[in-house]
Structure 1
């Protein structure tokens, strides 16, 4: 039993490291297609593709657990509203009216938002070491975003997109906390598939309104299909599966700290794929984030195994 718990915990932390890597790639891809794929279309079709990829594997499990699905789908619907339907849609919308640096800065407050909501809704208190870890990691994030210059932070200005990104952060915080609070006895595959299916259903009327009255959609081509497949598989299916497993095993507040890795991974990916310069502040900020992660995750409790 102890061996299983340790292995599950190791998998949880591995997944929580890969999740921000995939989401950093999501941000890079989103910036690259902002002129060719409308944000709502990008959000909608990523989940349609993800669902089509999952269904052949998931349908047997869904049928087997149908009685449980029937009893618990309203809870999953609530979770899908704040995750699949809202978070990335809001993030993509924010990217149209604000800068990437502002999005990264606001996105980095997710751990604080989750910790606050976990305390208010679940009564989870932050240990002194965790509080120090949050502060150290946040310092690292700010160093990366500010590029080592205080004036860069002070010169940031708010825009409508910033407010939309704040809404995205709140949405993800609510989802992470409710994921732990709403005990849903479904297998990981069934839960993820149901989450994506219900979230896509919620997003459909928004997509149709955008398609018919606002953006007009996009043209599927050799340049638009690959990014859609990427955001469906990596930041879509895999990242959500890893996040769900991580939150369930280590708790929402501790899992959220890994969001601090997003701007670090984004900086590295931008350096590799966009030829942007990797500065000393990326390395120093990354080191501080790793220290913060160590402080917040050491002596982690044994994982839950009843799901």
Structure 2
């Protein structure tokens, strides 16, 4: 039974979008200091170490994780190995505001993927909402200029964040399908660790490929150490826990609206920390994307 939205629960649901927006800004700040795919690997390696003391029993031989290793290997590939690696790659050539706006259209991607792969029926209202959200994404990709969009002058970051959003949509569908052992499903730390165990392998493999493709370097110093501490503890663990508690209290429908705060926080943080000011087309895109999600989710 879901509770009504209280200030405490609202605080729980506001914190993750703020941390996710900070993740995008930090990813942009680390361009030139840490290779993007390596940043993703280091982030999850540190999160693994931080979470290990409370989830060590999950990794024991004969534990509930190993019979489901194929499922968690796929979830780890999409959620840990691919999503943030692609996001950090996108931030090399795109802004945090652009990246978070496109990522905010995930519900529209989920509708399409659900219809094609999972037999989900799409209503007219959902189709209208998805069209509005996708139009908002096109406004971002075209930088508010339809002629520019027609010429398809996309920076690599636009492609990477679209790919990341599609990967997250597939991950979300797989995550809600039944099959997890109760001792993992009911424990947020165990569920996250089950994905991290395999996701670390994927992200390590991708990082090795990044270094093999061309010489890389990490400019070690306090900025890099602080950034790693933030992305591992904040967006990876604290946001995950806060979001889970908030969703448990008020349900995913109400909680979903709070995720749309991420582009707003990203715009404010980008302006304050990076000097990247938002434009009018960002506001138009935000209205279209959020409006589309509202239309889709109404009964």
- Give the TM interval when normalised to the shorter protein: 0.7 to 0.9
1:166 aligns with 2:162: yes
Mark the runs of 5 or more structure 1 residues left unpaired by the alignment. Answer: 300-307
Partner SS, residue 223 of structure 2? coil
Question: How many pairs align?
Answer: 292
Choose from 97, 103, 107 the match for 2:103.
Answer: 107
Partner of residue 198, structure 2: 198
1:18-72 CA distances to partner (integer Å, 9 max, x unpaired)? Answer: 5443332222111111011111221110001111111122235x26996322222
Q: Residues 136-175 of structure 1 correspond to what in structure 2 (within 5 A)? A: 136-138=132-134, 150=146, 153=149, 157-175=153-171
TM-score (norm 1): 0.75
In the TM superposition, residue 161 of structure 1 has moved relative to its aligned partner by 4.3
Q: CA deviation at 1:178?
A: 0.9
Equivalences for 1:171-186 in 2 at 5 Å? Answer: 171-184=167-180, 185=182, 186=184
Deviations 1:238-275 (A, max 9, x none): 34456677899648xx9878765443332122123234
Instruction: Provide, for residues 155-181 of structure 1, a one-character-per-residue CA deviation record: whole Å limited to 9, x for no partner.
Output: 661344444433323322221111112
Give the distance between the partners of 1:257 and 1:198, measured in 2 at CA. 30
Contact preservation (8 Å) 1:179, 1:244: no
Residue in 1 aligned with 2:54?
Answer: 57
The change in CA–CA distance for 1:283 and 1:270 in structure 2 (over 3 A counts) is same
Distance 1:247 1:217 in 2: 40
TM-score (norm 2): 0.77
- Deviations 1:274-305 (Å, cap 9, x if unpaired)? 34445565556555555444434445xxxxxx
8 Å CA contact 2:104–2:289 kept in 1: the answer is no
2:26 maps to what in 1? 29
Shift of 1:74: 2.1
Q: Distance in 1 between matches of 2:53 and 2:34?
A: 27
Cα distance in 2, alignment partners of residues 142 and 219 from structure 1: 36
Please report how far the alpha carbon of residue 149 of structure 1 lies from its aligned counterpart in structure 2 after TM superposition. 5.5
SS at match of 1:224: helix
Q: What stretches of structure 2 of length at least 5 have no aligned partner? A: none
Number of the residue aligned with 2:42: 45
Q: Which position in structure 2 is the counterpart of 1:74?
A: 70
State the shift of 1:111 in Å.
Answer: 2.5
The root-mean-square deviation of aligned C-alpha atoms, in Å, is 3.9
Q: Distance in 2 between matches of 1:13 and 1:154?
A: 41
Instruction: Describe the shift of the 1:205–1:135 C-alpha distance in structure 2 as closer, same or farther (beyond 3 A).
Output: closer
Change (3 A) 1:50 1:14: same
SS in 1 for 2:63: helix
Q: Which moved more, 1:112-121 or 1:162-171?
A: 162-171
Deviations 1:71-95 (A, max 9, x none): 2222111110111011111222233
How far is the alpha carbon of 1:104 from its aligned partner?
A: 5.2
